[in-house]
Amino acid sequence: MQERSRTPMGSLTDAWVESGKHFSNSVEHFYSSMMAANRAMFPGLSNGDDRQPPVSPEVSYSKADWTFEHADETDDADGVVSVGDTIRFSKTLTEREIREFADASGDTNRLHLDDDFAERTRFGRRIVHGTLVSGLISAALARLPGLTIYLSQDLQFLGPVDIGETVTAICEVVEDLGDGRYRLTTVVEDEDGETVIDGEAIVLIDDAPEDALED
């Protein structure tokens, strides 16, 4: 396998953890970035050109090359979220998506867009925007039963993701806080199973509007 980094992983991890500390408390920035990530992940959604039918429970659209799994530890058949439930969502982050995300979010850092510039950085090559990678967490949470609404998200960035790499978000319900609120662990892994993002989210889950889903 081709070497993935030109610098020791320890140095990369320290840098990404430090940046994650500054990021974790910026909920407003996280929400705006998630909206930009969703626009990048669904470039043709408004035209319906390649979208697939909504996945169960018919809240989120999908695409044929995306992978989604929902493990329900309590074997509930009524779509109720329970402690122990786990959602896994995988997709490949392409060159096109990196450039569309840069345009949608305004994050045109040359580390993500300019090969010559990126080769001179600690990473030695272009890498995916960290916020775009974390967008897979939002994609996974959107596939919980019901309508998922973010209340908070803490993140630490532990390593870079290469352009063209397939990454997987893994979200597990670890606590029922009552009144439809849940705490979840939120992890993103790279193709080698290494954790590149680690964090925790609190979400509110409402019933999906059935009348709207019938349209």
**Alpha carbon of 122 to those of 54, 147, 189: distances in Å?**
41, 41, 21
Q: How many domains does the chain have?
A: 1
- 20: in domain: yes
From CA 37, how far away is CA 130, in angstroms rounded?
A: 11
Report which of residues 122 and 76 the model is more confident about.
122
Determine, yes or no, domain membership for 142.
yes
- Judge whether 91 lies within some domain: yes
Per the domain annotation, does 127 fall within a domain?
yes
Distance CA 130, CA 160 (A): 8
Q: Where are the alpha helices (DSSP H) in the chain?
A: 9-23, 27-41, 95-105, 110-113, 115-118, 130-141, 210-213
Question: The CATH number of the domain where 112 resides is what?
Answer: 3.10.129.10
Distance CA 136, CA 129 (A): 12
pLDDT, one tens digit per residue, over 7-25 is 444 555 555 545 444 444 4
pTM: 0.70
| Token pair recorded at residue 97 | 């998506």
Name residue 111's beta-bridge partners: none
Q: Is residue 59 part of a domain?
A: no
In a domain, 19, yes or no: yes
The predicted pLDDT at position 210 comes to 72
Instruction: Tell me which H or E stretch contains 184.
Output: strand 181-189
If you count them, how many residues does the chain have?
A: 215
Which domain range does residue 163 map to?
Answer: 9-44+69-74+81-205
Question: 97-128: per-residue pLDDT in tens?
Answer: 999 999 999 999 999 999 999 999 999 999 99
Residue 202, SS3 per DSSP? strand
Q: Is the pLDDT of residue 77 over 50?
A: no
Q: What is the pLDDT of residues 123-176, one digit of tens each?
A: 999 999 999 999 999 999 998 988 999 999 999 999 999 999 999 999 999 999
